[in-house]
Structure 1
Amino acid sequence: MTATAFRISVPDDVLDDLRSRLVRTRFTTASDTTAWAAGVDPGQLRDLVDHWAHGFDWRAAEAALNTFPHYLAEIAGARVHFVHLRAERPAGTPAPLPLVLTHGWPSSFVEMLAVARRLADPVGHGADAADAFDVVVPSLPGFLYSEPVRGPFTRRRVAEVWHALMTGTLGYDRFGAFGGDIGGGVTQWLGALYPGEVTGIHITSAVVTTDFRDQPPTAEEQAYLDALAAYDATDGGYSEIMCTRPDTLAAALADSPAGLLAWIIDKYREWSDCGGDLESQWDRDTILTVATLYWVTGTIGSSFQQYYHYPLNRPVPAVTVPAAVTLSHEPAYAGLPRSLTERVLTDLRHWSTPGRGGHFMAHEEPEQVADELRTFFRPLRSDG
């Protein structure tokens, strides 16, 4: 399970084909007079597609991504892509703590890069050298440059692959884990399965157990669960089709970059802490970097696999390692009681509700996330 260096390099003909498709996009008309009421606003999509075709400089974005050290490794019969950023630390300072950061959907390793830089080089970002981390940022299986796992995509299976990456490929004896969305589920499974190697876990999308047989939900917990169900009724259409007809949707998105972009930005607007104004949180080139990576790797369809296989996931067992939650500021977690999380995270040492930073918190608020991670892991560095 050795790792080999890798650089992102998209052939010119792939970019030429992308541009040709973009300039020939056929746009729809809005179904509602209120922008975004029925999905992506056609006017805003048109503007983004025009910028993608005529203003976005992929080669500059590619060069910026390649300032990070990328690697590929074969684990359990599949290729895993990851960024491995080793700590910058002066001589005589403590050894860095290894930390794996896991993204979600419709995201990518790009979400974690700004946080990774801050964690690996604390002095360069105004923090203490003793808080340095060796940071590993993998691409989820089937996302971008990572191949799908063999067999079902479950959070537990990804945790098993990440454990092999951290301990087998990279040789770390102990490590911490952080993530949100799918990455949060993977992170919880890492803590549940490997308490001997996992120093602690930190999540932004808090788990809600579905097993209430032994202890029914309290009135506060039930109120939250009811509110979550009501929100899902208005937001869950995307999930239903990816869970039941992923290949039908993928056929359209793999052939239309504008359609792919619409599918992605619908969630970037809905789930991020942008107050409904997409470009108040996301600059165009950031959005288009993510969209281009999905397009050139042809992996939007394989990224749906974790939705199609979602029923195969089982509730996370009790996680006994030290845990932290920095709660995402998005509709799905509004009013979530700490007690629900404590049903699974039995040693919850850090609970924070900063009120900013949504589904893609590491991308939206990298300084906040870096500070939260340093704070939580600081007392754990000498444990074990």
Structure 2
Amino acid sequence: MPEPTRTTDPTGDAPSPNSVQRFDAHIAESEIEDLRARLVSARLPETETVFRPSPHPRRWDQCVPLTDLVDLVDYWRTDYSWRNFETRLNEIGQFRTVIDGLGIHYLHRPSPRADATPLILTHGWPGSIAEYVDIVDELAEPTSPDAPVFHCVVPSLPGFGFSDRPRTTGWSTERIAEAWVTLMRRLGYDRFAAFGGDWGGVITTILGGRFPDHLIGIHTTYAPGIPGASLNELTAGERAWALDAEDFWTHRAAYAHQQATRPQTIGYSLVDSPVGQLAWILDKFAEWTDTRDSPFETIDRDRLLDNVSLYWLTRTGASSARIYFESHDSLDPDLRVDVPTAITMYPCDIEKYPRVLSQERYRRIVRWQAARKGGHFPSLEAPDDFVTDLRAGLTAILTRCRT
């Protein structure tokens, strides 16, 4: 089966090992036509046996309802435009470089201001660089002249999107963090700030703990404490957060165990069926967002399909799942973070940790925020609020660094 066309960047010369190459995404039209044909011919199951009329918070008891999926598949086939997203990525500025033998894709949105701070923003699963395309302009060139500014770098994780798919084991979160340091230094950013959630939060934590000489500070929405910590001294609210995280891993994390133990098996379905890929991701966007009935109460339908299409058109359903095989439950319990750290916990995220637990690992917290609303994808659910919070956290970090 032929590979999808990913880029148009004929240089004529082989790139040097440390070079950065401009990347212009252009998926072949035949791939888009194939997607539409598969959507037309998709075989779907019967309606779930817990059917309830919308709106109802328990419509998703057996996960993605048939009526919701049929509507979204029809929209994906007839009205959605991949080319709009492709154009947006090219407008921001896309590049690729080879690190440790693997091609890494990233967006680079530099600020025109000389006082800008380098910032790397790392996504997780089932997200992608689509999580940040709506905020990088405001971070790099804010509407308010008094706002802090940032040179934004948004890499695609190995095996995701337009980054290469590893052909051997070993691309763990530790190795990815090391690659991010190489990437930033290659761009001329010897010291930088970092943000991330989900796997991006793990990688951001490792950056702060393993590479303090290169990190100005970190901001994360994932801030786990030390395994085995006692819950005895927690308040009722703090205990509820901790027990909810425990319940999530006990009862709601089958997807993670599947991808950690059998990524190749689920990968066949994800790479062969666009409806399967859509449902696999939509399920998480529905459960992990701050909504009552549908993720589209807060997340733009086209942006979610941008995210799903990126997985589908680059055929990375299996390779992206392997990050769980490489790194599931592998964050070093002895890792400590001593660079300035900002932490934001969103009320509908899947893992919320009380400060009293997080501060055992993150020993220099300069800002702790429990947001009023939002879930696992805050940059997509409430981008304006997210940017405000991110700026506040990074400002606290930069202020601490100057004192």
TM-score (norm 1): 0.91
Q: Distance in 2 between matches of 1:217 and 1:354?
A: 22
- Deviations along 1:307-353, one digit per CA (max 9) or x if unpaired, are 1122544336110000001112225345x321111011000010011
Closer, same or farther: CA 268–223 of 1 in aligned 2, 3 Å: closer
Amino acid at match of 2:146: D
Q: Secondary structure at the match of 1:304?
A: helix
Amino acid at match of 2:75: H
Matches within 5 A, 1:1-384: 1-29=18-46, 30-34=48-52, 35-89=59-113, 95-122=115-142, 125-128=143-146, 131-149=148-166, 151-167=169-185, 169-212=186-229, 216-220=230-234, 224-309=241-326, 310-315=328-333, 317-333=335-351, 336-378=353-395, 380-381=397-398, 383=401
Cα deviation for residue 357 of structure 1 reads: 2.0
Q: Distance in 1 between matches of 2:255 and 2:200?
A: 19
Q: Distance in 2 between matches of 1:189 and 1:146?
A: 21
Uncovered stretches (5+) of structure 1, i.e. residues with no partner: none
Q: Distance in 2 between matches of 1:164 and 1:243?
A: 27
- Deviations along 1:197-238, one digit per CA (max 9) or x if unpaired, are 1000000122232154xxx44342666433322233331121
Q: Is the contact between residue 104 and residue 180 of structure 1 (CA under 8 Å) also seen in structure 2?
A: yes
Amino acid at match of 1:139: S
Q: Distance in 1 between matches of 2:362 and 2:177?
A: 17
Q: Distance in 2 between matches of 1:211 and 1:174?
A: 34
Q: Secondary structure at the match of 1:113?
A: coil
Closer, same or farther: CA 316–283 of 1 in aligned 2, 3 Å: farther
Q: Distance in 1 between matches of 2:349 and 2:338?
A: 28
Q: Distance in 1 between matches of 2:165 and 2:207?
A: 19
Q: Secondary structure at the match of 2:335?
A: coil
Uncovered stretches (5+) of structure 2, i.e. residues with no partner: 1-17, 53-58
Amino acid at match of 2:24: R
**Please, what is the CA RMSD of the aligned residues?**
1.9
Q: Secondary structure at the match of 1:229?
A: helix
Cα deviation for residue 277 of structure 1 reads: 1.7
Q: Is the contact between residue 153 and residue 305 of structure 1 (CA under 8 Å) also seen in structure 2?
A: no
Q: Distance in 1 between matches of 2:35 and 2:150?
A: 38
Amino acid at match of 1:272: T
Closer, same or farther: CA 317–325 of 1 in aligned 2, 3 Å: same
Amino acid at match of 1:81: H
Equivalenced residues, count: 372
- Identify the range of structure 1 (188-197 vs 224-233) with the bigger mean alpha-carbon deviation: 224-233
- Identify the range of structure 1 (55-64 vs 174-183) with the bigger mean alpha-carbon deviation: 55-64
Q: Is the contact between residue 231 and residue 331 of structure 1 (CA under 8 Å) also seen in structure 2?
A: no
Q: Corresponding residue for 2:10?
A: none
Q: Distance in 2 between matches of 1:10 and 1:120?
A: 28
- Deviations along 1:250-283, one digit per CA (max 9) or x if unpaired, are 1111111011000010001111122332221122
Q: Is the contact between residue 254 and residue 301 of structure 1 (CA under 8 Å) also seen in structure 2?
A: yes
Name the structure where helix makes up a greater proportion of residues: 1
Cα deviation for residue 116 of structure 1 reads: 1.4
Amino acid at match of 1:7: D
Closer, same or farther: CA 153–246 of 1 in aligned 2, 3 Å: same
Closer, same or farther: CA 245–143 of 1 in aligned 2, 3 Å: same
Closer, same or farther: CA 244–31 of 1 in aligned 2, 3 Å: farther
Q: Corresponding residue for 2:11?
A: none
Q: Secondary structure at the match of 1:351?
A: strand
Amino acid at match of 2:302: D
- Identify the range of structure 1 (372-381 vs 345-354) with the bigger mean alpha-carbon deviation: 372-381
- Identify the range of structure 1 (261-270 vs 199-208) with the bigger mean alpha-carbon deviation: 199-208
